[in-house]
Structure 1
Amino acid sequence: MATHNDSPNFYDCLIIGAGISGINVAYRLQEQSPNQSYAILEARDSLGGTWDLFRYPGIRSDSDMYTFGFEFYPWKEYRTMADGASIKQYLKDAASTFGIDEHIRYRHKLLAANWSSDQQNWSLNVDTPNGKKNIRSRFIVFCTGYYDFNEAMPATIPGIEKFQGKVVHPQFWPEDLDYKNKEVVIVGSGATAVTLLPNIAKETNKVIMLQRSPTYIAAVPQRDNLSYWPAKFLPLSWTYKLRRIQFLILPFLFFKFCKAFPDRARKLLKKGAASQLPEGYPLEPNFDPSYGPWDQRLCASPDGDFYKAIKDGQAEVVTAHIKQVTEKSIHLEGSDRVLTPDIIVTATGLKLIMAGGTKLSVDNEPTEVSQKHLWKGAMIEDVPNAAVVLGYTNASWTLGSDATAQFVTRLLNHMDKNGLSQAVPKVDPKSGMQDQSVLNLKSTYIVKAEGSLPKAGNKAPWLPRSHYLRDLWEMKFGSITHDMQFSRIST
């Protein structure tokens, strides 16, 4: 499949997005398919993706860095979770170390992509600093994440438009926002709210996290003692592997425990919360979710910083529905309490979107990604020579990225070896397959996005992603011909 086309605008593989997934795919291409020419198209003027976009106070990983970091470039610090600036620097270092940064084309925004069966390649309409450009590629990998970088999910809060103070969404945090000695209300209870609260509580007069329903929040030690002490006696390379294996296995076992024994897991998590809160602090209703652990994503709090802010009297959690927002206040349903914030932060979730919103078409016929299924969580039904990177909801995003990257190189090598020019996933119409959600969470922003995301099925190879080790084995050694149609067309 490798091309000998000398055009500077023709590649064997184009990677869309220079975030953690794009860098991961680029490395695997260099490592396992070195004869494939590639470039990375990045719409922004810097690499990093999420870690370049989000600038709100305290922005950090919600997963451990030993699995969120790359297998081929280990995270070397003894911090289980890292801040956004450190993660971006880590990505820059990785890209520079392996020469990946030389392949990045900044301020190249993909607008539309059309597959031509006659030409057996993709034609991409790209907006560049020098105007519109057409770039062609035999294969394309979307490393654009699953949310909209340009638009946040609208917060449906009655009367919010009347509020005369500041209304801020974390995705577009103003650099000059002054919250010192101010009253701040964070609307939401997910990872962003849990991160924001302890970081701004140090300077605000008071910060309140206003949630409709409670969230499970687990205090996570920032220093991993299990591998910290062995590191004093073992070679560094062994230590890095030990940490990664540890964080691959233990969180997975805990997830399985939560799903198998939800009542026991609920008691364990509530006991953990009680130990972090002030003595005698009531758990109900603020820390007593009605759903089982991991029905929605479990939030992590480094060294219990979230609970410490409450314990120190800097922050508070209020569980209630908003009845109405007025010019200067928030009125709650079923309560006489009135909140009078200077700033409202709407941490109510992200607007989900696939392939960065690119207009996809096959032979000039538009493709509605939301109407398609994902083959092994990586390729879009009826769309030739294209992969999308989708991570895990219950583990580090990078693990899913790496499973897809390993599959892409395997597929490219298979096609090259056999002289194949096209690979298209096709659902067997006789299979009787039923639809499933591609993401296995019930979080509000995921439920709202069901109509814009692709689907999974209840039969292989259309099943949703489940666990990294099994998925990685499937991607590296499982069938690549099941429900996949290959073509050998001379161009």
Structure 2
Amino acid sequence: MTAVEPGGSVPAEVDVLIVGAGISGIGTAYHLKTKRPGTSFAIVEARDALGGTWDLFRYPGVRSDSDLHTLGYEFKPWRKKHAYAGGGEILGYLHETVDEHGLRPYLHLGHRVVGASFSSDTGRWTVTLLRTSDDTMLTVTCSFFFSATGYYDYDEGYSPEFEGSDDFRGTIVHPQHWPEALDCAGKRVVVIGSGATAVTLIPALAGVAEHVTMLQRSPSYVLGWPKENKVANALRRALPTAAADRAVRSLSIRMLHEMYRTSRRAPNLFRRLLRLRMTSVLPDDYPVDVHFNPSYDPWDQRLCVATDGDLFHAIATGEASVVTDRIARFTPTGIALESGREIEADVIVTATGLKLVPFGRIEVDVDGVPVDWHECVTYKATMLTGVPNFAFAFGYTNSSWTLKVDLTGHHLCRLLDHMDDRGYDVVTPICDDPAVGGGPFWDLTSNYLRRSADVFPTSGEGGPWSMEQNYYLDRRRLRREPVDDPALRFTRVAEPAGSSSPAGSREPPPRVPGPRSSLPQGR
């Protein structure tokens, strides 16, 4: 893998500043470079490596729970035999993307964005950066500010306080900060949690550790799914490369979409399908209803994927087991449960979730007024009311993240084209109806999402305000529908005194005061 070299000094001025060099930032940079070759841009990244999630997480077995035919970019099809990939393969794919499309010179690693201020007088953002190598503060101005920061707190994961944790004589580790030197060979490992991290981590440790126990407070839905998409591979053998790429991606998107629709419309049927896939591997007398039958409907929380049923195979062979109980306290030798049982452990992994932060914790203001993200309403799930010349990439919770990244990149370029064609400097989503908004940023009930609901923007129930989890709807509104919309205010920066304004300037519409339109707007 080619080492990442900084792209020189961060330019003092760019048209678009992208924050984050993960899958979202790289994808957005590709769209700008190929669709708007005259647009200057830079990518700033707080960490010293590109890749985002796929460079941060290094625990054993880390992989995608989305297939790479859809998690991969539309412009760089995934052509390997297996549809699911480990974190290292995905990171390599991102490096290839950067090199193949000449994006490395635009990367500026080790530059953390700490603040951004928009001025209506200039129609530009002034962004403050901290260069982490020497703690030097820098400023960059840009016309458009794009957040590709994702939603994880990269500094720390979520780990609740466990009574007695100081008494435990073994090793306690959170997957987000997996020590490179940690060796679990021959050790008794307890993984606390039942989410995607636990489901991928346990099969990777099974057979290496003496035994692995998944300790969960309540069950999650786990779908056993083939690592190889045989239909996709058959299409690749039968069709020319470009046609196969399109067919495989379309098929994979449709399969995800229909699987989700089935789970929501016929949850009991979907439960039975999940049960059939796991019971075909688990022993006949295994207590499936105790350990794999949640009280909520499928996709009320994110569905976990066990590729090739690896979790169930580990359980069937006795290398792993599941305990559904509540923790009373940690002991010097393991974990005491409320049922009175104690699980002995040498290593305890707290796969208890993530901390979420909106837009990288960047302090943002518009004309000196701080932006409260929770007071903003999403516009087409890619912009926010009251925040001028700002957009963000946020993927799907029920499908592959990158599907949305590609759509958002298309829309950003269309929006900038529209502004250039008409001589506009500033665009701001405006919502003057106080009744709009207040809905959740996402539609899942997972605890890690609920814990942070009051710091993320809200959404509306319809129109451009909804935070859709539907690729086909978003494809229509982000790629096909006109960019111009009554909810968008396009303006020009005021001309110096004595000069005449360009013809066709759109004057701001009358505003109705309300809690969703309290921020100053561009003129």
Corresponding position of 2:273: 268
The reply to whether residue 307 of structure 1 matches residue 320 of structure 2 is no
User: Hey, what does 2:513 align to over in structure 1?
Assistant: none
Q: Contact 1:352–1:452 (CA<8 Å) still a contact in 2? A: no
The answer to whether 1:114 aligns with 2:117 is yes
2:324 is the alignment partner of 1:319: yes
Contact persistence 2:393–2:408 (CA under 8 A): yes
Instruction: Write the distance in 2 (CA, Å) between the matches of 1:327 and 1:382.
Output: 53
- Residues 1:329 and 2:334 aligned together: yes
Instruction: Tell me which amino acid in the other structure corresponds to 1:292.
Output: D
* Aligned counterparts of 1:454 and 1:139: Cα–Cα separation in 2: 19
Measured in 2, the distance between the counterparts of 1:98 and 1:155 equals 43
Aligned counterparts of 2:92 and 2:394: Cα–Cα separation in 1: 23
- Asked if 1 retains the 8 angstrom alpha-carbon contact of 2:159 and 2:174, the reply is no
In the superposition, the TM-score normalised over structure 2's length comes to 0.90
The aligned runs of 1:134-213 (5 Å cut-off) are: 134-213=139-218
* % same residue: 39
Are 2:31 and 1:23 equivalent residues in the alignment?
Answer: no
Alpha-carbon deviations, 1:386-431, whole Å to 9, x = none?
111110000000011112111111111111111111111121226x
Deviates further, 187-196 or 408-417? 408-417
* Counterpart Cα distance in 1 of 2:212 and 2:232: 36
Aligned to 1:446: 449
Aligned to 1:382: 386
Does 1:231 find its partner at 2:229?
A: no
Unaligned 5+ runs, structure 1:
1-6
- The alignment partner of 1:175 has SS state of coil
Partners of 1:327 and 1:486 in 2: CA distance: 63
Counterpart pick for 1:466 among 469, 472, 496? 469
**Which of these residues, 232, 245, 256, is aligned with residue 250 of structure 2?**
245
CA distance in 2, matches of 1:216, 1:461: 32
Residue 243 (structure 1) shift: 1.3
Question: Structure 1 residues 232, 476: CA separation in 2 closer, same or farther (over 3 Å shift)?
Answer: closer
- How far, CA to CA, are the matches of 1:470 and 1:459 in structure 2? 12
Compared CA separation, residues 367 and 270, structure 1 to 2 (3 A) = same
Preserved contact between residue 185 and residue 343 of structure 1 (Cα < 8 Å)? yes
Counterparts of 1:157 and 1:276, CA distance in 2: 34
Q: Is the 8 A contact 1:41 1:106 kept in 2?
A: yes
CA contact (8 A) 1:324 1:332 kept: yes
What amino acid sits opposite 2:344 in the alignment? T
| Partner in structure 2 of residue 351 of structure 1 | 355
Shift of 1:478: 2.5
Q: Given the alignment, which residue of 412, 424, 440 partners 1:420?
A: 424
1:177 aligned partner, one-letter code: L
Quick one: distance in 1 between partners of 2:153 and 2:188?
Answer: 29
- Partners of 2:315 and 2:321 within 8 A in 1: yes
Corresponding residue for residue 261 of structure 2: 256
Q: Write the letter of the residue equivalent to 2:213.
A: I
Secondary structure, counterpart of 2:443 in structure 1: coil
- Which ranges of structure 2 fall in alignment gaps of 5 or more residues? 1-9, 496-523
The corresponding residue for 2:294 is 289
Residue of structure 2 in register with 1:97 after alignment = 100
Q: 2:221 aligns with which of 216, 224, 230?
A: 216
Shift of 1:154: 3.0
**2 CA distance for matches of 1:162 and 1:412?**
58
Provide the residue aligned with 1:49 in structure 2.
52
Asked if the contact 2:383–2:391 (Cα under 8 Å) also holds between the matched residues in 1, the reply is yes
Classify 1:231/1:477 alpha carbon distance in 2 versus 1 (closer, same or farther; 3 Å): closer
Tell me the equivalent position of 1:393.
397
Matched residue, 1:75:
78
- Give 3-state SS (helix, strand or coil) of 1:271's partner: helix
8 A Cα contact 1:78 1:222, kept in partner: no
- Displacement after TM superposition at 1:339 (Å): 0.7
Residue 434 (structure 1) shift:
4.6
Which range moved further: 94-103 or 324-333?
324-333
Question: Helix, strand or coil for the counterpart of 1:324?
Answer: strand
Separation in 2 of the partners of 1:265 and 1:27?
Answer: 38
What letter corresponds to residue 279 of structure 2 in structure 1? A
- What's the TM-score once normalised by structure 1's chain length? 0.96
Question: What amino acid sits opposite 2:386 in the alignment?
Answer: D
1:4 matched residue in structure 2: none
Q: Give deviations 1:281-312, integer Å, cap 9, x for gaps.
A: 22120011111111111111111111111111
Secondary structure in 1 matching 2:489: strand
Q: Output the CA distance in 2 between the equivalents of 1:417 and 1:439.
A: 34
Cα contact 2:19–2:44 (8 A) shared by 1: yes
Matching residue's letter, 1:255: Y
Correspondence for 2:458 among 455, 460, 473: 455
